[in-house]
Structure 1
């Protein structure tokens, strides 16, 4: 199964790039706050970042990776564990954990393995290498 994972590839290609994730860790997308929803390139970056499952760090780039043996159930368990470890409530997302996992799977499935992507709100776009 394909999944989005943190990467340092293409970091710095855009002036507002940053990463504090562990390269290769699974990532998910925070819901943008009202400030970021109005201007994802503005003061609050939450509408353009991915959040790491393990580190709870953030990054502006992710890469699509085929993870052999990884299942949808594994994905859901990992996201729930990430929320629990960080003391987060799954209510901080607009959708349930199962729905969020399904969305992440659909996003990753749309791109070839190795595609580096960035985010602007709910739009994911490939980056040039």
Structure 2
């Protein structure tokens, strides 16, 4: 059984800079923070504090760790590639390869207990208290 990160609205609104434009339960990944977001994580650009939905192309500041029976690394890669294809992203637009991104997501989710709600602060992912 593999753990993954999925969008959630749980704990939304506890921070002024929270937002959720994803579908609850959709797989999410993390885009690299832009220079503005690195300087001002709670500023106008949310890329350094959010997760990106693979299906909706929306963003959310909260995700939850979920164990998905039967879900494989290959499924994860296929979902992320399909998301990039739908957005028209070419592989050269990414700073990391799809397999590397998936490896990072798997490692990250594996370190948390199923049901843990997390938030992001640039390159750090931290548990959010309910």
Structure 2-normalised TM-score? 0.96
**Is 1:48 equivalent to 2:54 in the alignment?**
no
* 2: CA distance, partners of 1:47 / 1:92: 18
Tell me the SS of whatever aligns to 1:5.
strand
Equivalent residue for 2:13?
12
Equivalents in 2 of 1:38, 1:92: separation in Å? 22
Q: Which residue of 1 aligns with 2:73?
A: 72
| CA positional deviation for 1:90 | 3.4
Residue matched to 1:100: 101
Assess if the C-alpha contact under 8 Å between 1:31 and 1:93 holds in 2.
no
CA distance in 2, matches of 1:58, 1:72: 23
Q: Counterparts of 1:31 and 1:97 in 2: how far apart (Å)?
A: 13
Residue-pair matches, total: 129
* Corresponding residue number in structure 1 for 2:82: 81
- The CA deviation at 1:44 is 1.1
Runs of 4+ that moved beyond 6 A:
none
How far apart in 2 are the matches of 1:93 and 1:8? 28
After TM superposition, give the deviation of residue 73 of structure 1 in Å. Answer: 0.5
Partner of 1:28: 29
1:36-78 CA-to-partner distances (Å, cap 9, x unmatched) read 1122111211100000000000000000000000000000000
Q: How many angstroms apart in 1 are the aligned matches of 2:63 and 2:126?
A: 10
User: Which moves more between the two structures, 89-98 or 58-67?
Assistant: 89-98
Provide TM-score, normalisation by structure 1.
0.97
Structure 2 stretches of 5 or more lacking a match? none
Structure 2 Cα separation of the partners of residues 88 and 120 of structure 1: 25
